[in-house]
Amino acid sequence: MRRIYYRFPQRVDLSFAMGMPFNETLKYIAGLDNAESTKTTGKELVKVKTKVKIAIDRATFGDITPDVLRPGVITEAADMQVSVLALALRGGGKVPIANDVFYIRLTDQVSRTDIDIAKEGRGEGLDALDMKNILLGAPK
């Protein structure tokens, strides 16, 4: 069964292929849910949190459950929503500096998975290439 979001943007910012089968890619990206990392940008320490959701029906996104990740439950394509929250860790506490939302479409191509990334809005912060680096595990 396909998990498609009918309001997925018509124009995508970046397309690439991941060299893993569809189910492995789906599990890999689902594993990024609630992931946290810390990095230094300039003179600030920044904490980055990611939240991953999957299309439940054609109109909404919901949390990823173990039932969804079983082989054969999702086939052909799946749409995911990834939120990336960046917090600057300053002396007075945590200050939000970016909250970016990306839509990701995974398409099964047998031995690889095609991935389309579209950013919601056009504000400052991360872009589609940064999201690709997060998905591939490369430091930004």
| Residue 126, pLDDT above cutoff 60 | yes
Look at residue 49 in the predicted model and tell me its pLDDT. 92
Q: Please give the structure tokens belonging to residue 136.
A: 């591939």
User: Per-residue pLDDT tens for 45-57?
Assistant: 989 899 999 998 8
Dump strand ranges (E) for the chain. Answer: 14-18, 36-41, 44-55, 61-62, 77-90, 93-109, 112-119
Look at residue 140 in the predicted model and tell me its pLDDT. 45
User: Per-residue pLDDT tens for 23-43?
Assistant: 999 999 999 999 998 888 778
Task: State the pTM of this model.
Answer: 0.88
